[in-house]
């Protein structure tokens, strides 16, 4: 699937509310999905009678939370790579030992997205070496190439086979997972962005050859528009922002609540006990409101960056 086709397909999907990140499907006949989970993704499968299964997929956009350095990855056990496969020199030079593990893996995802064009019509071989030599491949070829690059750099990585689901059709698709220290396996679909998948991704044990019927029972949103843009691509960040709200002693009142909302509908609430804490916030603009009983004591806009730690002292009595 090329990038333009992927965007068009996602636009064709129904406009679910942005606040939700869950979908439920009934899958009938053909190959059937399997239970799966990774950092930010969960798929549960249960029998629904007559050989069909009900599938519940939930995703989250909370920051990944990987730790450690790339030096630790290099010092670890080397995963298997295709015979004679080497990292491109430009990429190898960029992977410095002092980088964070997540940052190094992200550089590889970025390199693939920049150097290899995804094209659903590509008829060439889809192995990693062929795709990188041509600079062109289908979603399967791009995934194979990305996994090979990650493994050559020392990361554990694997391809994931499944379906991408719309309102009236499902198409075979492939994406990847990479293991990051302290974060576990993290999924990433090269046709969408960096470290991103959606509730429309259904995981199967292998390539789907007998296409089943997929009925959408319920679906909320994927919330992708809430993610920051990095180099023109959606990016699920590694670190979130942390916001601490304090009331001045003059403004302190029992049962005062802080409510935080982003543009996509994510809403967080915290009582002042004596501070209100919000963690793992996505970068971007948030609206902070201070509520007491039925009154809004204060309202302000807050722009947060990845890894921010902000403390706001609020005097509602002003």
User: Which CATH number is 246's domain given?
Assistant: 2.60.40.10
Identify whether residues 205 and 106 lie together within a single domain.
yes
From the CB of residue 2, how many other CB atoms can be counted at a distance below 10 Å?
19
Whether 185 and 124 share a structural domain: yes
CATH of the domain at 158: 3.10.620
Query: What pLDDT is recorded for position 5?
Result: 37
pLDDT for the residue 221? 78
Whole-model pTM: value is 0.83
- pLDDT in the model for residue 218: 92
Host domain of residue 245: 241-314
Co-location of 81 and 133 in the same domain: yes
Report residue 49 as tokens.
């009678």
pLDDT in tens, 212-231: 999 999 998 788 888 888 88
CA–CA distance, 302 with 311 (Å, rounded to integer): 11
Where does 189-294 show beta strands of DSSP type E?
A: 193-194, 201-204, 213-219, 229-230, 233-235, 241-247, 257-262, 267-271, 276-281, 284-292
Residue 16: per-residue pLDDT: 30
Residue 7's pLDDT is 31
Q: Do 128 and 258 share a domain, yes or no?
A: no
Residue keyed to tokens 């030079």: 93
Low-confidence ranges of the chain (pLDDT < 70): 1-20, 167, 249-254, 316-318
Whole-angstrom distance, CA of residue 118 vs CA of residue 149: 16
**Domain count along the chain:** 2
Do 77 and 199 fall into the same domain?
yes
**Domain termination site, one of 209, 235, 261:** 235
For residues 183 and 303, membership in a common domain is answered with no
Q: Tell me, what's the pLDDT at 306?
A: 87
Predicted local confidence at residue 316, as pLDDT: 64
Residue 73: enclosing H or E segment and its boundaries? Answer: helix 70-75
Please answer whether residues 203 and 245 qualify as being in contact, where contact means their C-beta atoms are separated by less than 8 angstroms: no
In the prediction, which pLDDT does 14 show? 30
């Amino acid at each position: 699937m090329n990038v333009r086709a992927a965007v068009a397909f996602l636009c064709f999907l129904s406009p679910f509310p942005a606040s939700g990140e869950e979908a439920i499907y009934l899958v009938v006949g053909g190959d059937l999905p399997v239970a799966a989970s990774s950092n930010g993704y969960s798929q549960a499968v249960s029998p629904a009678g007559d050989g069909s299964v009900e599938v519940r997929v939930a995703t989250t956009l909370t920051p990944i939370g990987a730790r450690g350095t790339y030096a630790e990855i290099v010092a670890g056990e080397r995963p298997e790579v295709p015979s004679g496969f080497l990292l491109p020199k430009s990429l190898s030079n960029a992977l410095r030992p002092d980088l964070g593990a997540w940052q190094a893996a992200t550089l590889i995802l970025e390199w693939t997205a920049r150097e290899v064009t995804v094209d659903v019509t590509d008829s060439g071989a889809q192995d990693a070496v062929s795709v990188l030599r041509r600079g062109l491949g289908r979603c399967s070829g791009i995934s194979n190439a990305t996994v090979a690059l990650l493994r050559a750099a020392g990361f554990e990585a694997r391809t994931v086979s499944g379906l991408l689901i719309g309102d009236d059709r499902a198409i075979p698709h492939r994406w990847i997972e990479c293991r990051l220290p302290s974060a576990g396996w993290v999924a990433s679909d090269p046709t969408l962005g960096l470290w991103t998948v959606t509730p429309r991704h259904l995981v199967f044990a292998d390539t789907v050859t007998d296409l089943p019927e997929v009925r959408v029972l319920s679906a909320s949103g994927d919330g992708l528009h809430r993610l920051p843009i990095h180099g023109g691509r959606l990016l699920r960040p590694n670190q979130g922002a942390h916001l601490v709200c304090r009331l001045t002693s003059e403004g302190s009142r029992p049962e005062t609540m802080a409510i935080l909302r982003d543009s996509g509908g994510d809403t967080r609430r915290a009582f002042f006990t004596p501070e209100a804490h919000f963690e793992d916030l996505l970068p971007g603009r948030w609206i902070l409101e201070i509520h007491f009983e039925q009154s809004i004591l204060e309202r302000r806009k807050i722009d947060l960056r990845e890894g921010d730690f902000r403390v706001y002292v609020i005097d509602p009595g002003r």
